[in-house]
C-alpha cells in the first residue's frame, strides 16, 4: 500500500469515528484504536497517542455547534471537570503501580451492566425533571434547550455529588488506561444527575477534550504521537465531528440512547478483550 | 458585548472552539500535503515498520528550536506537529477564556471552578510528564 493510500484510508475511518464519537459523547478513541491496531498494524502506543488527538478533535469540533445551540450545559460541564481533571492526574500517577488488565476486566464488566440499564430505559425521551434544590441550586445546575420538534425543554440536575464521583472514576480511567472515560461521564449525567440524554452526551463531549488534553503532555513527551498516523486521524475526526453534530441536533433522545448503548457495548467488549490479550 | 447574557458566553466559547479547530485543520492539511508531495508514493509498510520500531520515540520534534527549524524548512512533520499543538491548545484556551467570561459575569463561584480546572490542566499537561511518578 502506498503512503497516500494509507493516509486516505485512515482519514475515511476517522470520519466515521468522528461522527459516532461526537453523537454519543465518547470521543473517537473507541473506533480509532482497534482500526489502527487491527486493520493497519499500528503499534498500540501510537494508536493510543492518535486516540488522544482524536478525542480532542471530536470534542472541540462538535462542541462549537453544541455550545452555540445551547444543548451543552456549560456549568454542569465545568463543575464536573473539577473531578475529571483531578481523576486523570490521579490515574496517571497510579499507572505504574496498577494491574491494568484486572482493571479493564472490572470496568469493562461494569460498563456491560450499564448497557443493560441503558436498554431498559430505551424509550425514555425526556426524564421527569427533579426539583432544583441544595447544592444543585447553589451551583445553578439547570438549563434549557430546543428539541427537534421545537419544544423548549427545561431541566434541573439532581445528585451533583454522585455525578462528581462518577466523573472522578471516568477521569481515573482516562488517566490510567487512556480509555473508558467518556462512557462513565455520560452515565454520571444520565443516571445520577437525571439530565436529558442529549445534554448528557454533548456535555460529556464538551468535557472529554479537557480530560484528553490533560494527558496529552505525557503522550507527547513519551513520543507516542506520530505525525503520519495523527495527521489523517485529526483531519478525518474534525470532519466527522462536524457531521455528527448536525446529525445529533436532528436526532431524538431515544435514538441517541440507542447509539450510546451500542458504542458503550463495543467499548466494554474492547476493554475486556484487550485485558485477556485477544486484541492489543 | 454583554457577558451577562448567557447566549453571549455560549457564542464566545463556541467561536474559540470553532476557530481553534479550523486553524488546526488548515495547518495539519498543509503538513499532510507536504508529506504526500515528498513521501506519498513510498510504500507504507516500510514506513510503518520504521515508525513502529521507533517506540517510544516517534519522529515528532521535541524541542521548540527544532520545531521552528522544521517549519522554516517546510518539513511536513513539523507542520503536522504545529497543527496538533494548536488542536491540543484549543480546549485549554476554552477553559482560560471561561475564567474571564465568568469574571465578566461577576460569577465568582464559577470563576473559581474554572480557574482550578485551568491550574489542574496546566499542571497535568506541562508538569506531570517530567515527574518520575507519572512516567510508568
CB contact under 8 A, B124 and A92: yes
The yes-or-no verdict on residue A138 having pLDDT over 70 is yes
- Listed by number, the residues of chain A in 11-30 with a beta carbon closer than 8 Å to a beta carbon of chain B are none
Q: What is the pTM assigned to this prediction? A: 0.91
pLDDT of residue B61: 61
Q: Which residues of chain B lie closer than 8 angstroms to A97, CB-CB?
A: 136
Positive or negative, the Cα torsion across A108, A111, A112, A113? positive
Gap from A225 CA to chain B (nearest CA, Å): 7
The yes-or-no verdict on residue A180 having pLDDT over 70 is no
pLDDT in tens, A219-276: 887 778 888 889 999 999 999 999 999 999 999 999 999 999 999 999 889 889 988 8
pLDDT in tens, B92-130: 999 999 999 999 999 999 999 999 999 999 998 888 888
CB contact under 8 A, B125 and A95: no
Q: Which residue has the higher pLDDT, B22 or A227?
A: B22
Listed in sequence order, the residues at least 6 apart from A205 whose beta carbon sits closer than 8 Å to its beta carbon are A21, A22, A25, A27, A58, A59, A62, A63, A66, A72, A182
Q: Which residue has the higher pLDDT, A125 or A159?
A: A159
**In this structure, are residues A85 and B124 in contact, taking their beta carbons and an 8 Å threshold?**
yes
Gap from B127 CA to chain A (nearest CA, Å): 8
Q: What is the mean pLDDT of residues A117-141?
A: 89
pLDDT of residue B1: 47
Output DSSP code: residue B17. Answer: H
- Listed by number, the residues of chain A in 221-260 with a beta carbon closer than 8 Å to a beta carbon of chain B are 221-232, 234-235, 238
Listed in sequence order, the residues at least 6 apart from B98 whose beta carbon sits closer than 8 Å to its beta carbon are A74, A78, B13, B110, B114
A42 touches chain B (CB under 8 A): yes
pLDDT in tens, B34-90: 988 887 777 777 767 766 665 545 556 666 778 888 899 998 888 999 999 999 999
CB contact under 8 A, B48 and A217: no
Count of residues in chain A: 280
**In this structure, are residues A234 and B83 in contact, taking their beta carbons and an 8 Å threshold?**
yes
Cell of A31: 473506533
ipTM score for this prediction: 0.91
Q: Where are the alpha helices (DSSP H) in chain A?
A: 3-24, 29-34, 44-68, 74-94, 100-120, 134-138, 160-177, 181-187, 197-222, 227-249, 253-275
A70 touches chain B (CB under 8 A): yes
pLDDT of residue B62: 63
Which sequence spans correspond to the domains of chain A? Answer: 3-275
Q: Which residues of chain A lie closer than 8 angstroms to B76, CB-CB?
A: 227
CB contact under 8 A, A225 and B39: no
Best B3, B39, B48, B75 member to test A by mutation, with max A CBs in 10 Å, is: B48
Best B4, B9, B124 member to test A by mutation, with max A CBs in 10 Å, is: B124
Which sequence spans correspond to the domains of chain B? Answer: 6-41+60-134
pLDDT of residue B52: 65
CB contact under 8 A, B28 and A235: yes
Amino acid at each position: 500500500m502506498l503512503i497516500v493510500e494509507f493516509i486516505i484510508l485512515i482519514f475515511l475511518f476517522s470520519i466515521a469515528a468522528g461522527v459516532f464519537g461526537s453523537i454519543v459523547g465518547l470521543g473517537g478513541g473507541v473506533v480509532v484504536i482497534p482500526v489502527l491496531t487491527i486493520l493497519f498494524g499500528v503499534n498500540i502506543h501510537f494508536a493510543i497517542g492518535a486516540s488522544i488527538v482524536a478525542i480532542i478533535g471530536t470534542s472541540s469540533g462538535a462542541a462549537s455547534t453544541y455550545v452555540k445551540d445551547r444543548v451543552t450545559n456549560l456549568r454542569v460541564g465545568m463543575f464536573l471537570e473539577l473531578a475529571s481533571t483531578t481523576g486523570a492526574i490521579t490515574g496517571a500517577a497510579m499507572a505504574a503501580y496498577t494491574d491494568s488488565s484486572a482493571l479493564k476486566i472490572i470496568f469493562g464488566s461494569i460498563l456491560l451492566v450499564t448497557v443493560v440499564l441503558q436498554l431498559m430505559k430505551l424509550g425514555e425521551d425526556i426524564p421527569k425533571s427533579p426539583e432544583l434544590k441544595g447544592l444543585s441550586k447553589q451551583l445553578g445546575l439547570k438549563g434549557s434547550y430546543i428539541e427537534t420538534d421545537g419544544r423548549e425543554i427545561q431541566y434541573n440536575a439532581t445528585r451533583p455529588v454522585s455525578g462528581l464521583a462518577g466523573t472522578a472514576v471516568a477521569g481515573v480511567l482516562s488517566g490510567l488506561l487512556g480509555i473508558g472515560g467518556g462512557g462513565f461521564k455520560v452515565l454520571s449525567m444520565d443516571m445520577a444527575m437525571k439530565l436529558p440524554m442529549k445534554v448528557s452526551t454533548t456535555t460529556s463531549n464538551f468535557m472529554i477534550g479537557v480530560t484528553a488534553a490533560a494527558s496529552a503532555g505525557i503522550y507527547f513527551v513519551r513520543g507516542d504521537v506520530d505525525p503520519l498516523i495523527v495527521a489523517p486521524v485529526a483531519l478525518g475526526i474534525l470532519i466527522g465531528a462536524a457531521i455528527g453534530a448536525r446529525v445529533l441536533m436532528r436526532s431524538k433522545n431515544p435514538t441517541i440512547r440507542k447509539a450510546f448503548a451500542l458504542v458503550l457495548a463495543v467499548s466494554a467488549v474492547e476493554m475486556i478483550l484487550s485485558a485477556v490479550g485477544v486484541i492489543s | 458585548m454583554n457577558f451577562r447574557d448567557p447566549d453571549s458566553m455560549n457564542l464566545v466559547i463556541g467561536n474559540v472552539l470553532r476557530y481553534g479547530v479550523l486553524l488546526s485543520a488548515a495547518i495539519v492539511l498543509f503538513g499532510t500535503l507536504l508529506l504526500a508531495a515528498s513521501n506519498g508514493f513510498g510504500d507504507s509498510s516500510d514506513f510503518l515498520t520504521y515508525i513502529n520500531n521507533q517506540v517510544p520515540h516517534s519522529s515528532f520534534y521535541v524541542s521548540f528550536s527544532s520545531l521552528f527549524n522544521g517549519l522554516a524548512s517546510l518539513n511536513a512533520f513539523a507542520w503536522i506537529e504545529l497543527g496538533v499543538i494548536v488542536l491540543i491548545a484549543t480546549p485549554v484556551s476554552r477553559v482560560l477564556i471561561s475564567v474571564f467570561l465568568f469574571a465578566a459575569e461577576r460569577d465568582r463561584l464559577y470563576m473559581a471552578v474554572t480557574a482550578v480546572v485551568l491550574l489542574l490542566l496546566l499542571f497535568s499537561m506541562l508538569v506531570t510528564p517530567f515527574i518520575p511518578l507519572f512516567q510508568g
